[in-house]
Amino acid sequence: MSVLSVRGLSLSYPAPRRFLRRAAALPALHDLSFDLQAGERVGLVGASGSGKSSLLRCLLATEAAQTGHILFKGREVAAGPVAALRWYRRAVQYVPQDPVASLEPRMTVAQLVAEPLLRLHVDCDPARRAEEALDSVGLDPRFLSRRPEELSGGQAQRVAIARAIATRPVLLLTDEPVSGLDMTIRAQVVQVLRNLSDAYGTGLLMVSHDISVVAGLCSRAMVMDGGRIVEDRPVRDLLRDPHHIHTRELLNAAPPMTAAA
């Protein structure tokens, strides 16, 4: 069953104006269409400038595409007021690339994890749900009273994940979730995401420039280049027989790897 459907999505940005010349449009996304199934783990891979971030902003409903549609369980998703999008924000949550920058320094971990529950009017005990979410990412209750400055990079990423899963979403959108972490902590965070997906049936769209991270977690990969999806295939097939030159470049730049089980 498709939970998220993208159809004909296109987005362009105005180019800088030069003297009296009319600003040309710089295309970022070209007629993208794909589906994400319930509980599916999918990697979105590409180099900087390939269109990954533009697509992610559209999926987060923070930016509107010029053409196309985004449907969540058949319901149209469009950028708009917070109140109009509460239904979508409860079901689709976001794990940012820089968790420390995304965590309000004046708030405790307990407040940070409970905040989306209150903002999105989730019917639950926020304190209890925050503790459960923290336990799900492998942090014990003593972390609830800490502030972001007291956390290591790996702990901050786990708190960001706990904050995202507190609403018990159907789908997690993650932006370079292990970027900047050392190899040991990267492996731990990837395992946390795998465990959460397996335990709750949560779908995952992982945006990354590193195909090795995607290969270790996802069963399917979409490769972007120039605002287009140039490959959309099972990870095992993509590793064994890459079709597009950009996919081969990404694989050549990555360490040896095997596909996720």
Smallest Cα–Cα separation from 151: which of 132, 134, 168, 127?
134
Tokens of 80: 């708009």
Residue 118 pLDDT: 95
> Tell me, what's the pLDDT at 49?
87
d(CA 122, CA 74) in angstroms, rounded, equals 22
Homologous superfamily, domain 41-60+75-253: P-loop containing nucleotide triphosphate hydrolases (3.40.50.300)
Q: What SS3 string covers 178-192? A: CCCCCHHHHHHHHHH
Residue 24: the pLDDT is: 67
- What pLDDT does residue 224 have? 94
For each successive 10 residues of the chain (261 residues), what is the average pLDDT? 93 72 75 95 92 94 93 92 90 88 91 95 94 92 94 91 94 87 83 91 92 90 95 93 91 70 54
Q: In this predicted structure, what is the pLDDT of residue 29?
A: 94
SS3 241: coil
Contacts of 151 (CB under 8 A, 6+ apart): 100, 109, 143, 159
Domain limits of the chain? Answer: 41-60+75-253
Helix (H, G, I), strand (E, B) or coil at 211: helix
d(CA 73, CA 2): 7
* Residue 43 bridge partners (DSSP): 206, 221
Closest CA to 213 of 28, 24, 13, 41: 41
From residue 207, give the alpha-carbon distance in Å to each of 37, 84, 124, 175, 260. 17, 26, 30, 5, 16
What's residue 260's pLDDT? 63
E strands, 38-141, where?
41-45, 67-72, 75-76, 92-95
